């Protein structure tokens, strides 16, 4: 089993361009797995972890409700935002500057074959990272992602998640609000949940800005420990 994960830092990158790149890596891993099965081979499969920051964009998962987008095409253009219907689970979410977006493209057969466990590990990575900043984050039953003050009127989401998996290969991932412009969330019903707010790490800490690379380093540390993996920086 190959437990090495290649880290790909894309910087600021268009959503559709990144989605196409994900699909390319995803398909490459699937092709190796099909070849292994058909030809009784044991070729190793690669694992990748993409980090990226997107320009303003709204994405709607395959089971999402389009009415949760509260803007028409003209209003989207006025806000400098784009919109895509995509092939992950979940409803609508927002990506934009000040947000760390991570796309793990893993062959889970290199780690464990359990999608539920995979999602819980992604959540735990963020929960452990937030704990380093003195914040008690947790899961909200039946709602994927990472939250603060669950079970109170002040519950708010700080990290959204939505994944796709085929033959135990994953794509899409998580969006962690670090220095996000929360005003853009006012244009959607985030994840289809009407009665809960959204927050960002800088807001919670009362700071103008949190160093993105600092947060990313903590995420990578916890990701490595949880998946018992070795990260290879590109």
Q: Is 134 annotated as contributing to ligand binding? A: no
Q: Is 217 annotated as a binding residue?
A: no
Q: What is the 3-state secondary structure (H, E, C) of the chain?
A: CCCEEEEEEEEECCHHHHHHHHHHHHHHHHHHHHHHHHCCCCCCCCCEEEEEECCCEEEECCCCCHHHECCCHHHHHHCCCEEEECCCCCCEEEECCCEEEEEEECEHHHCCCCHHHHHHHHHHHHHHHHHCCCCCEEEECCEEEEEECCCCCCCEEEEEEEEEEECCEEEEEEEEECCCCHHHHHHECHHHCCCCEECCHHHHHCCCCCCHHHHHHHHHHHHHHHHCCEEEEC
For residue 174, say whether it is annotated as part of any ligand binding site. yes
Judge whether 162 is annotated as a binding position.
yes
Q: Is 161 marked as a binding-site residue?
A: yes
CA distance 159 to 161: 7
Q: Is 92 annotated as a binding residue?
A: yes
Q: Is 88 known as a binding-site position?
A: yes
Is 94 annotated as belonging to a binding site? yes
Residue 191 annotated as catalytic: yes
**Active-site position among 159, 191, 215, 219:** 191
Strand pairing category for 99-105 and 48-53: antiparallel
91 is in an annotated binding site: yes
Binding residues for substrate, by number, are 88-95, 160-162, 173-175
Active-site annotation, residues: 191
Residues in binding site: 88-95, 160-162, 173-175
């Amino acid at each position: 089993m190959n437990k090495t994960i290649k880290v790909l830092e894309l910087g600021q990158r268009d959503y559709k361009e990144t989605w196409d790149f994900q699909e390319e890596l995803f398909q490459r891993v699937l092709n190796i797995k099909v070849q292994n099965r058909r030809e009784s081979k044991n070729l190793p499969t690669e694992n990748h972890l993409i980090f990226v920051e997107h320009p303003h964009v709204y994405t709607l998962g395959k089971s999402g409700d389009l009415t949760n987008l509260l803007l028409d095409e003209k209003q989207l253009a006025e806000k400098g935002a784009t919109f895509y219907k995509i092939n992950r689970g979940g409803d609508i979410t927002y990506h934009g500057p000040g947000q760390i977006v991570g796309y793990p493209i893993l062959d889970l057969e290199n780690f464990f074959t359990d999608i539920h466990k995979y999602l819980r590990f992604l959540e735990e990575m963020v929960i452990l990272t937030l704990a380093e900043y003195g914040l008690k984050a947790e899961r909200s039953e039946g709602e994927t992602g990472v939250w603060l003050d669950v079970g109170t009127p002040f519950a708010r989401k700080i990290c959204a998640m939505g994944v796709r998996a085929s033959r135990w290969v994953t794509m899409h991932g998580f969006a962690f609000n670090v220095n996000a412009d929360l005003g853009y969330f006012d244009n959607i019903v985030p994840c289809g949940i009407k009665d809960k707010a959204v927050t960002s790490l800088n807001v919670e800490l009362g700071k103008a800005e949190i160093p993105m690379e600092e947060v990313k380093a903590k995420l990578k540390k916890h990701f490595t420990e949880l998946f018992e993996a070795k990260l290879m920086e590109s």
